[in-house]
Amino acid sequence: MQRTRITSRLLALAGAVLLAGLLAVPSAIGRQASPRARAASSLLVGVGDEHAKLFKNPLWQQLHTKIVRYIAPYDAAVRGDELGKAREWIHAAETQHQQVLVAFYHSEHTPTVLPSVATYQRDVKKFVALFPRVHQYQSYDEANRGNVPGAFSSPSATLAAQYYQALLRSCTIRCTVIGLDVLDANNIGPTLEYISEFKREIGRLRTIMPKIWGLHDYSDVNRYESWRTREIDRALGGQVWLTETGGIVQFGSFTNRNGSGLTRAASVVKYVFALAHSQPQITRLYLYDWTGGNASTRFDAGLMSAREQPRPGYVVLCRALHAAKCNVKLSRN
């Protein structure tokens, strides 16, 4: 399989200690709260994905969402292959009148080497200049995930704060730069400490404290729990965007695709909406991702099967957005 951004993300998710124990979830469907029939006006909902074909899919088009999220290597502007992917995806999104949030990430060419602050600032500044209609950025996707030997490296909280400052300097007047993008875990202690260290470094740098933060709460919602999300929200302060969330169908060697697996993933999506509506601090929600079910995929939270057929999670999303029955033929994989 060719090395792609998705490939490295899946290796990352499979090996990350921050998601240890994610699949040992209790059977707690009865504890779910029912989401409102229509997404509240204060909550914007969209999809995170890295494949431009998303925007041609009629099932995506009928959702009438306004926001999307794209993960780009920090050095995409100076790497022809990655720049080509970014151009295609962002152009397709803008053609569909989407507001694009770009999250920078490790290099696909040197994933285990973290750039110097100067190199990071130089490369992201070039990216920002190439895409003048993109106004929302995150300095580092899941910055607190930690290192996976042979796969990728992640910045310390101190370095993450310096990257945040560098992105602020690269995109001054017309940009909204979201603060830390963090991943929860079964044990959120290290995540909370990472946030605290980041904020201390921001103070030392005398940099503007973020008003908007990003959170990926897979571990919490896939247990039908909310306390992790609530504690992290309190630690972050300000607005929180769930920049990645969703119901997991497959993770590593664990496969739960057929029958109740897809139904359970859909019920998690429903729970995500309930949680988001219960927290005024949460103002955006990006479900990740659109297409799943590939045999080589180690992490699968797709709303579509590998053949682009809708799964039950898609129906939950559609109904949450439109309060109407979505007549689609569901996939069984």
Per-residue model confidence as pLDDT tens digits over 123-136: 999 999 999 999 99
The enclosing domain of 219 has a CATH number of 3.20.20.80
pLDDT tens column, 224-246: 999 999 999 999 999 999 999 99
Question: Is 23 a member of any domain?
Answer: no
Structural domain includes residue 130: yes
- pLDDT above 90: percentage of residues in the chain: 74
Compute CA 225 distance to the chain's CA centroid, rounded to the nearest angstrom: 19
**Residue 333 domain flag:** no
Stretch 174-184: mean pLDDT: 94
Q: Is the pLDDT of residue 206 over 90?
A: yes
CA distance 117 to 160: 10
d(CA 45, CA 177): 19
Q: What does pLDDT average to over the chain?
A: 86
**What are the tens digits of pLDDT across the range 2-21?**
334 444 443 444 444 334 44
Rounded Cα distance between 170 and 328, Å, is 44
**Alpha-carbon Rg for the chain in angstroms:** 18
Q: What is the pLDDT of residue 34?
A: 43
Owning domain of residue 131:
5-12+40-322
What are 260-281's pLDDT values in tens digits?
A: 589 999 999 999 999 999 999 9
Residue 332 lies in a domain: no
73 found inside a domain: yes
Residue 192 lies in a domain: yes
**Over 60: is that where the pLDDT of 60 sits?**
yes
- pLDDT tens readout for residues 9-55: 434 444 443 344 444 444 333 344 443 433 445 899 999 999 999 99
Q: Which of 290, 103, 124 lies closest to 213, judged by CA?
A: 103
Residue 220, pLDDT > 90, answer yes
Residue 21 lies in a domain: no
Give the total number of structural domains in the chain.
Answer: 1
Residue 29 lies in a domain: no
Taking 60 as the threshold, does the pLDDT of residue 253 lie above it?
no
Tell me the whole-structure pTM to 2 decimals: 0.88
| Residue 295: pLDDT band with limits 50, 70, 90 | low
Tokens describing residue 234: 């309190």
